[in-house]
Amino acid sequence: MWVDEPPTNAWLLSGDIENDHPFNLDVLLKLYSKEIDVSLPHKHVTSMALVTHGSLGEIPWSYVMPVKEHRAFVNNLVNKAVEAINDLPKDYYIDTWKAGGQVLSSLRQAAIDVPTWSEIMEQRPGNVHVVETFMPDKKGFASKVKYNRFGTRTGRLTVESGPNILTLKREFRKKLIKSSSPEGSIISIDFAALEARVLLYEAGGRCEDPDLYSFIARDVFHGSANRQQVKGAVISEVYGSSKHALGEALGISGPDLDDFVMKVRVFFKINDLKKRVKDQFIKNGWITNRYNRRVLIDDPMDHIFVNYYAQSTGTDVVMLGFRDLLTRLRKLPGVRPLYVLHDALIIDCPKEHVDTVMKFDTVKVKGYVQKFFVKPEIVNCTQ
């Protein structure tokens, strides 16, 4: 039937993945690398463009096109849409993807220190093109950021338009963004060792210490390795750095280096995860993360399997965790979420709620019985 407004529980096909309808079929199709062409037949578009001098706004196509052709066009769209709805997996979209959408739609414009912004622009530093994206309006606020959730294979966010918080230097971030309330603070709430915890929890492990790397240095290496060495080894395993480069960074080589790396691999059961994900790729031509998001891989090297799995799963953990945080933050009047910065949520917090927010230490994330630790940090405080 024809309706003026689609029901909120109906799948919407519009050709626009940015549409914030709760059941966006265009997004579902994109997640599984499928496409339905919603464009009208070229000959009719060309004809109307000549008549309307290029304007193709609100044209009543059901009256313009021959009845049979319009009916065939609509029937084709309906049939393809129904086929996609019936055939494509929907659990990931409904249970996980929508949580990220809720987080991003809750973000607000950030207050900018106008004199500082003007001063930086006059100095023209190397990062000036990024600083420029934070240009304040007449009320002293930057525009709202718009993220692209399909900008990377693993789902990590990229900035599509607005303030490029992802590439703004830390020194400028601390100076530019200020609280919109008197004596308020800008607070960054970061996940602690996110991807390392994903690997540990995938291996069935637990760690109740907020500092995972210190825990490993103490309990696995019994003090023979320090925190930075452990962190370097974990990052090397996730991102595929060479063992030689790791050895140079750690100052060890030969059997000592082999033993060190092996202990890290055994602790996280890296080889088990690598085999499981690699076998899935060989069978299907893609891998899925913890939440069944499909991840495509062009270059199937061993470290890529671990990297993509950990990073993609971590991205979903972040969004699910931030949704949990926002539920708590909504109980604190005046708190305004501003940006998602990789594994961190940046908020504008009134003075009276700073102590409460600074006590946040864990989030519970669907899909894991273990807790994920977060660390709030005051980035800027308005005096």
Predicted TM-score (pTM) of the model is 0.91
178 and 29, same structural domain?
no
222 and 162, same structural domain?
no
pLDDT at 261: 87
273 and 170, same structural domain?
yes
pLDDT at 288: 96
Nearest CA-CA partner of 176 in 187, 166, 184, 168: 168
280 and 184, same structural domain?
yes
The strand pair at 372-381 and 185-191 is best described as antiparallel
Per residue in 111-154, pLDDT tens?
999 999 999 999 988 889 999 999 999 999 999 999 999 999 99
Amino acid at 80: K
Per residue in 62-79, pLDDT tens?
878 888 988 999 999 999
Domain extent for 310: 90-204+269-383
Three-state SS annotation for the chain: CCCCCCCCCCCECCCCCCCCCCCEHHHHHHHCCCCCCCCCCHHHHHHHHHHCCCCCCCCCHHHHCCHHHHHHHHHHHHHHHHHHHHHCCCHHHHHHHHHHHHHHHCCCCCEECHHHHHHHHHHCCCCHHHHHHHCCCCCCECCCCEEECCCCCCCCCEEEECCCCCCCCHHHHHHHEECCCCCCEEEEEEECCHHHHHHHHHCCCCCCCCCHHHHHHHHCCCCCCCHHHHHHHHHHHHHCCCHHHHHHHHCCCHHHHHHHHHHHHHHHCHHHHHHHHHHHHHHHCCEECCCCCEECCCCCCHHHHHHHHHHHHHHHHHHHHHHHHHHHHCCCCCCEEEEEECCEEEEEECHHHHHHHCCCCEECCCCCCCCEEEEEEEEEECC
97 and 77, same structural domain?
no
Report the CATH number that the domain containing residue 302 is assigned in CATH: 3.30.70.370
217 and 175, same structural domain?
no
Mean pLDDT (whole number) for 217-226: 88
pLDDT at 131: 95
Per residue in 83-122, pLDDT tens?
999 999 999 999 999 999 999 999 999 999 999 999 999 9
**Residue 264's Cα: distance from chain center in Å?**
27
Residue 247 has pLDDT above 90, yes or no: no
347 and 308, same structural domain?
yes
48 and 134, same structural domain?
no
Q: What does the alpha-carbon distance between residue 107 and residue 125 come to, in Å, rounded to a whole number?
A: 28
Mean pLDDT (whole number) for 57-66: 79
196 and 251, same structural domain?
no
pLDDT level of residue 54 (50, 70, 90 thresholds)? low
Nearest CA-CA partner of 319 in 235, 202, 194: 194
The strand pair at 344-349 and 336-341 is best described as antiparallel
pLDDT at 299: 84
Q: How many domains does the chain have?
A: 3
Nearest CA-CA partner of 373 in 138, 197, 157: 197
Most confidently predicted of 245-249, 254-258, 370-374: 370-374
Can you give the length of the chain in residues?
A: 383
Q: What percent of the chain has pLDDT over 90?
A: 70
Domain end residue (candidates: 88, 123, 147)? 88
pLDDT at 240: 75
Domain end residue (candidates: 38, 55, 88)? 88
pLDDT at 4: 82
299 and 174, same structural domain?
yes
Domain end residue (candidates: 67, 88, 109)? 88
Q: CA quadruple 170, 172, 176, 182: dihedral positive or negative? A: positive
318 and 238, same structural domain?
no
109 and 82, same structural domain?
no
